[in-house]
Amino acid sequence: MLKIGVLGLQGAVREHVESIKACGAEAVVIKKKEELEQVDGLILPGGESTTMRKLIDQYGFMALLKKFAKQGKPMFGTCAGLILLAKEIVGYKEPHLGLLNVKVERNSFGRQRDSFEAALNIKGMDQPFTGVFIRAPHIVEAGEGVEVLCEHNGRIVAAREGQFLGCSFHPELTDDHRFMQLFIDMVKEAKKEKIV
Ligand code: GLN
């Protein structure tokens, strides 16, 4: 069975666990560094990217997360997790993990629209997907090798580059597991390639 980890330092962890299970995979909440080795793919949840980064440093996760990526294992960042994955953040000199070739802007949907839902057209899905946005970032620029999966009002809100997947919204807060399934399929593929 595929094992999917959810970085459990802060943020919307439990909802991801439910969604992973609903897709028929095993979910592991990662709180200790050793636990990272057990999983085939990792989710960086939504929450607060600056707080999550502090905890990543405090618990010594930084080097291990980069190693996880080097092994070719898929990583999926939702909302704050997308900010952690991005190679560039508007207004910041340094990224956090700097893995996904996009430039993101934090809290970029304006104050009166801090939180909202929108019907999204996602590449590869024939029915709209409800995106829950909570003080969400958006992708200002998608670099080379990045496939844009969804735009909302002209703004990129989901993208994939090889083993990395990121979205501005919270797919785990709906009972629609199609976006999680997309990630699980990526993990399945990556694992198969390793075995062959
Ligand atoms: N605004 C948060 C940040 O910048 C992200 C919000 C979220 O994950 N829901 O980190």
List pLDDT tens digits, range 101-129: 999 999 988 766 689 999 999 999 999 99
Instruction: Report pLDDT for 196.
Output: 56
Condensed to tens digits (0 to 9), the pLDDT of residues 158-168 reads: 999 999 999 99
Q: Mean pLDDT across the chain, nearest whole number?
A: 96
Q: Model pTM greater than 0.85?
A: yes
Ligand 1, residues at Cβ distance < 6 Å: 46-49, 79-80, 83, 106-107, 134-135
Cα(40) to ligand 1 centroid in Å equals: 25
Please work out, in degrees rounded to the nearest 5, the angle formed at the alpha carbon of residue 69 by the alpha carbons of 151 and 149: 15
Domain that holds residue 11: 3-195
Structural contact between residues 158 and 122, judged by C-beta atoms closer than 8 angstroms:
yes
Sign for the pseudo-dihedral over CA of 93, 98, 103, 106: negative
**pLDDT at residue 174 is higher than 60:** yes
Which one of 13, 43, 55, 83 would you pick to mutate in the ligand 1 pocket, going by the greatest count of ligand atoms within 8 A of its CB? 83
Nearest-CA residue for ligand 1 atom 1 is 135
User: What is the tens place of the pLDDT at every residue in 54-73?
Assistant: 999 999 999 999 999 999 99
Single-letter residue type at 91: G
What is the total count of domains within the chain? 1
CA distances from 49 to 39, 82, 107 (A): 22, 9, 11
Question: CATH number for the domain including 101?
Answer: 3.40.50.880
